[in-house]
């Protein structure tokens, strides 16, 4: 029994070990003799675990049925979390009428680790694939557009006959097209660099400081629009993150709310944070024009997608916001109603 690599143990109803093998005892840095007839509550340092184990035992004894716990987490003597596939079987201690539980644990810590690693690798590969798709989409759509114009204008120049197109008109339009081409190339460069910045130093970033900085940088815009920014970071005001990303996320969402305000209505931008179940949620809410999500929902975060054309914009802002949120491991969702306003909800998992 002692040579079996699986952990084997038996406990009576009150939590006393009636049998353990060496593999099990070694988990807690003890010998089998040191454990037997002692109570689990006195032997296991992590109290949350011992009470959880006892609860499982009670269930097995009460119901009288075997249970399997596929990923049983156990903290060992060195404080290392190990994972077992554990089966707990009800039985009666021989010679007595005492109800007890027999447990057999098969260690799967390594498998779980490898599995997690593989999952992460697959997720990385999927992300890179999406990036490549995005890249080829930009190349085939957005990069092609100004190139096609340049080709078309050059062909016009070549046609026989006077006055087909004046030199001045041609030059003007060529210049516009070349500038657009240059713009797309620098956007592409910008987008591709996002992923590289991920190695940028992570620091404590204070939400309230970000808002203050942004208020200063777009002071004119805010004043002209008579916009008000109301913040509530009482619950949580900081997270460890890449500062330039968070700045860009806040900046784009705030400036969008000002740009796409409803005419004649004082723009009010509410930003709040909360902390729940290890997640930080940031909410950006405005009373602006809103977006018709039923019609345009699938394009909201798309590159070069625009929903209101009366003000300048490239259709880059929300695309960048989404990419940066994702790169930081977060998610972003939008709720919006035309002529009511828009709300963005960003959720970040606090990294361990």
User: For binding to another protein (CB under 8 A), which residues are involved?
Assistant: 137, 140-141, 144-145, 147-149, 151-153, 155-156, 159, 161, 164-165, 169, 173, 176-177, 304, 306-307, 309
Nearest-CA neighbor of 288 among 341, 211, 218, 219? Answer: 341
d(CA 152, CA 146): 10
Residues contacting residue 333 through CB under 8 Å, at least 6 positions apart: 344, 345
Q: What are the Cα distances from residue 89, in Å, to 17, 59, 65, 311?
A: 14, 11, 7, 70
Nearest-CA neighbor of 1 among 10, 91, 95? Answer: 10
d(CA 143, CA 181): 6
- DSSP character for 127? H
| Burial environment of residue 347 by CB neighbours within 10 A (0 to 12, 13 to 18, 19 or more) | middle
Please state the closest distance from residue 309 (CB atom) to another protein, in A: 5
d(CA 89, CA 202): 48
Please state the closest distance from residue 169 (CB atom) to another protein, in A: 8
Please state the closest distance from residue 184 (CB atom) to another protein, in A: 11
- DSSP character for 66? -
Of 26 and 296, the one with the shorter C-beta distance to another protein is 296
Of 106 and 135, the one with the shorter C-beta distance to another protein is 135
Of 165 and 240, the one with the shorter C-beta distance to another protein is 165
Of 305 and 345, the one with the shorter C-beta distance to another protein is 305
Please state the closest distance from residue 252 (CB atom) to another protein, in A: 19
Of 159 and 216, the one with the shorter C-beta distance to another protein is 159
d(CA 24, CA 6): 8
Of 169 and 235, the one with the shorter C-beta distance to another protein is 169
d(CA 322, CA 324): 5
Of 144 and 215, the one with the shorter C-beta distance to another protein is 144
Determine contact, residues 261/327, Cβ cutoff 8 Å.
Answer: no
Please state the closest distance from residue 261 (CB atom) to another protein, in A: 19
Please state the closest distance from residue 210 (CB atom) to another protein, in A: 31
Please state the closest distance from residue 170 (CB atom) to another protein, in A: 10
Please state the closest distance from residue 140 (CB atom) to another protein, in A: 4
- Residue 307 has phi, psi (to 5 degrees) of -120, -20
- Run of H or E including 332: strand 331-337
Using only C-alpha atoms, the chain has a radius of gyration, in whole angstroms, of 31
Of 181 and 229, the one with the shorter C-beta distance to another protein is 181
């Amino acid at each position: 029994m002692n040579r079996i690599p699986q952990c084997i143990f038996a406990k009576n109803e009150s939590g006393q070990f009636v049998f353990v093998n060496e593999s099990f005892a070694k988990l807690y840095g003890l010998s089998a003799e040191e454990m037997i007839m002692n109570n689990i509550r006195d032997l296991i340092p992590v109290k949350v675990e011992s009470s959880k184990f006892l609860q499982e035992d009670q269930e097995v004894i009460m119901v009288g049925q075997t249970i399997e716990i596929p990923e049983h987490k156990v903290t060992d003597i060195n404080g290392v979390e190990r994972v077992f596939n554990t089966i707990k079987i009800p039985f009666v201690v021989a010679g007595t009428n005492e109800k007890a539980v027999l447990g057999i644990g098969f260690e799967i810590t390594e498998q779980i680790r490898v599995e997690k690693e593989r999952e992460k690798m697959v997720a990385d590969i999927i992300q890179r694939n999406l990036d490549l798709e995005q890249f080829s989409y930009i190349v085939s759509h957005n990069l092609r557009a100004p190139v096609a114009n340049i080709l078309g204008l050059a062909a016009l120049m070549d046609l026989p006959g006077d006055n087909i197109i004046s030199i001045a008109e041609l030059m003007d339009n060529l210049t516009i097209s070349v500038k657009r081409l240059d713009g797309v190339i620098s956007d592409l460069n910008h987008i591709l660099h996002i992923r590289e910045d991920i190695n940028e130093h992570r620091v404590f970033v204070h939400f309230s400081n970000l808002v203050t900085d942004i208020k200063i940088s777009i002071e004119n815009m805010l004043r002209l629009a008579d916009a008000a920014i109301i913040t509530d970071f009482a619950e949580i005001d900081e997270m460890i993150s890449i500062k330039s990303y968070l700045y860009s996320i806040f900046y784009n969402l705030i400036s969008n709310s000002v740009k796409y305000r409803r005419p004649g209505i004082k723009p009010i931008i509410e930003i709040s944070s909360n902390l729940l179940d290890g997640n930080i949620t940031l909410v950006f809410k405005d009373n602006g024009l809103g977006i018709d999500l039923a019609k345009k929902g699938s394009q909201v975060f798309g590159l070069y997608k625009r929903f209101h054309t009366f003000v300048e914009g490239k259709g880059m802002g929300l695309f960048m916001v989404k990419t940066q949120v994702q790169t930081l491991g977060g998610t972003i969702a939008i709720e919006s109603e035309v002529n009511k306003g828009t709300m963005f909800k960003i959720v970040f998992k606090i990294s361990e």
